[in-house]
Chains A and B, each alone.
Chain A
Amino acid sequence: MSVSVPDTASKQHKGFRLDLKTAGPLLALILLIVLGYSLNPLFLGEGNVTNLLTRSAFIGIIAVGATFVITAGGIDLSVGSMAAFIAGMMIIIMNAAVDSMGASIWTVLLGIGCSVILGVGAGFINGFLTTKGKIEAFIVTLGTMGIYRSLITYFADGGTLSLNSGAREIYRPVYYDSFIGLPYPVWVFIIVAVIGWVLMNRTAFGRYCMAIGSNEQVARYSAIKVDRVRTWTYILQGLCVSLATIIYVPRLGSASSATGVLWELEAIAAVIIGGTMLKGGYGRIGGTVIGALILTAIGNILNLTDIISNYLNGAVQGVIIVAAVYLQRGSLGRRGRKAE
C-alpha cells in the first residue's frame, strides 16, 4: 500500500520527537536544579528542598485538577478566587463554631468538611453553566472568578479574616508538621497526583476526557456522555481547590482579598509547561507536577541569588511559559502539515 512509505518515515521521526516531548519538562527541571545548585549550594539544602516542595503543593494540587478540565477542552479561571472564597468561608465557619462550642478537633474537621462541599459545589456550578447553559467556559469562569473575589472582599470587609487562635493551634500541624520527613502538604500533593495519574491514564473517565478534548463530535458519536464527563472535570477541579485551601489556611491562619491572586494563571501555566495541550485532547499529570515544581523553583532560585531581581520572578515565569507553548506548537505544526 502506498501509505506504508510515509508511515515508516514518520515513525522514525516521531520516536525521537515524542521522547523529547514527554521528557522535555523533566529535562528543564533537572537543568533548573543544576542551575540553582551552581548559583547557590543552599538550593539543595534539606530545608530549602522541603520548603520548595511545600510551596509547590498549592499550585500543584490545583493544577492536577486543571489538567482534567483543560484536557477535556475546557478552562477554569475561577480557581484562585475560589480558593480565597473557600478559605474565607472556612475561617468564618470555624470561628462561629468556636464561639458556640469551643475550639476542638471537631471545629477543624467541620471547616474541612465545609471546604470540600464548597469546592465540589463551586465546581459543579462552573460545569453546569458550561454544559447545560452552553456558555463558553472562559466566560463562565471569568464570571465566577469575579463573584468569588468580590465575595471574599465583602466578607472580610476589605480587610483580613483571621482564624480564632485556639482553632489555629489545633489546625497548625496540617501545614507545619511532617510525616516520614515530608510535610503533610507534600503528602497531599503526592496522593492527589497519584490518584490523578491513575484517573487520567487507567480509567475510562480519563480516556473520555481526552476524547472529548480531541473532538467532541467523535466523543458524542462514540456513546460518551459528553456533558456529564465535562461537568465532572469541573467538580474534580473544585475538589482540588478545596484540598489546596485546606492545607493553605493553617499556614497563615487568615484570608483576605489578596489570597490566591493569580493562582489560576500559575495553575494553567503548570499544566501547559507540563505538556498538556491548551486546546485539549492530550493531558499529562506527571508533566503538570513537574510544571508546578518548575514554577516554584524559578521563584526560589531568584530568592537565593541576586543575579536577577526577585521582582522579575513573573517575567522569568512568563518567558518559560511562552517557550514551552512555542515548543509544543512547533512539533504540532509539523505533525499537522504532514497529516494533510
Chain B
Amino acid sequence: MLKTFSIGGIHPAENKLSAESAIQALPIPQMVSIPISQHIGAPATPIVKKGDEVKVGQLIAKSSGFVSANIHSSVSGTVFKVDDIMDASGFRRTSVIIKVDGDEWLEHIDRSEELVKEISASKEEIIKRVGDAGIVGLGGATFPAHVKLSVPPGKTAEVLIINAVECEPYLTSDHRIMLEKGDEVLVGTQILMKALEVNKAIIGIENNKPDAIAHLTKLAANYQGIEICPLKTQYPQGGEKQLISATIKREVPSGALPIEVGAVVQNVGTAYAVYEAIQKNKPLIERVATVTGKSLKNPSNWMFRIGTPVKDIIEAAGGMPEDTGKIVGGGPMMGKAIASVDVPLTKGSSGLLLLPREETARKATKACIRCGKCVSVCPMGLEPYLLMVCADKKDYERLEKDAVMDCIECGSCSFTCPAHRPLLDYIRLGKGKVGQIMRARK
C-alpha cells in the first residue's frame, strides 16, 4: 500500500503531456515587466528608477519587511519605467519594466554547470542569503522561503519534507527538475536541512513519476539523511497538510502551521533555487514552467526569465490553439485564469495551461441532490454543501463553527459535484468574510 493522506481526495485525469520534454531555455524577450509583488506579504520597494542601467541578478526592489521578498533583475539593460501594469491576477500593480540589452550578469554569480556539493555557509548565513536571493515557495503559494526556515522560538523542526508531489494534472516542471537537476535538488535539500538543524528529510513524490523516484532514490544514497517517499497518485497529495499526513502520519491542527507537528515543507523547485542561491550566488531570476494543453502543438517545459510575457512561452510551444477557452496560470485544479497574454510570468508561475473552451466551460448548476460526494472527497473533512448554503445565507457564525477557514481551496468538491454546483466559489466568499470578522475580533 502506497502512503497517502488521511481523508478524502480525488483522482482527476493526469494529462502529464509534457513529461518527456526536457527543460529548454526560453529566449530572452526584448522587454520584461517585473512586478514588485510576486509573493505573499508586503510588496518590495523599488530601488531603481527610469534610465538606470541594470545587470542580471542586480537587486531592483528591496524586501520591505520580514514577510516580503527581494526582487532582482532577470535581464541586463535599461530601466524603461517603473509603472503600474496589469499582472496575472488582473490587478494593476507596480512593476519595473526593463528594456533588454545583451545578457550581462553580475560578476559574482557562478554560471557554470559544475556541481558544488560542499556546503560552507553556516545556518544563519543560509537563512540570510535565502532571503537576500528573493526565494519564495515555488510550488505556487509564493510564501517567502526564509520565513519558513526561521523556526519560531519554543518550536523545533524535526523533519524537512520536500514537496515533489506535483499533484496538479498537466504540470511537469517539478518532474523535469528532478530528472535533470537531481543532484542540485539533493544538495539544496541538505542546505535546507542545515538551516533547520534537522538530520532527516523526506522527499514526497507521487507514484505517477516512477522515473523521478528511481533517479532520486539512486542519487540519494550519496547523501546523508534523505529519504525518497513514493506516494499514491491522489489529489491533493501536494497540499501542505496532506503531504505531512501522508509522509509522517501527523495531522496539523486547525489553524496551526506545520512546525506545530515538527515539520517544515519546501517545494522541490525551491530546493533547487536554494542550491543556486547558496552554492552559485544566483538570486531567483528564472524558474521552470510547463506550458501545456490538449490542443497545444508542443506541450513543453521552459526555463524562463522572471518578467517574460506569457505570450512568449505560448509562442515557444507552438502558439495559442484556436479552441482556447481559458488560459490558466498554474494547474487546472488551483491555478488562476488570466485575462491577457501580455501579463508577465513571475516567481509563482509553475505552468501555463491552455484549456479548450469545451473542457473548461461550466455546465448549468442543478439542485443539490444531497449525494454527499463533496463531503466524502473533502481532504479537510469539511461539508462543502453546507458551507455553500451558509455562505449564500450569510450565516458567518455557522461557517466559522463548521471550520470554513480550514478549507485549502483544492477544488475537489466543485470538481466532483454531479449537480455542477459552484461550491468552492461560495466557500471562498464565506472564507473571506469570516477571515475579516476573525481579524476584527483580535
Partners in one complex: no
Taking Cβ atoms with an 8 Å cutoff, the residues of B that contact A are: none
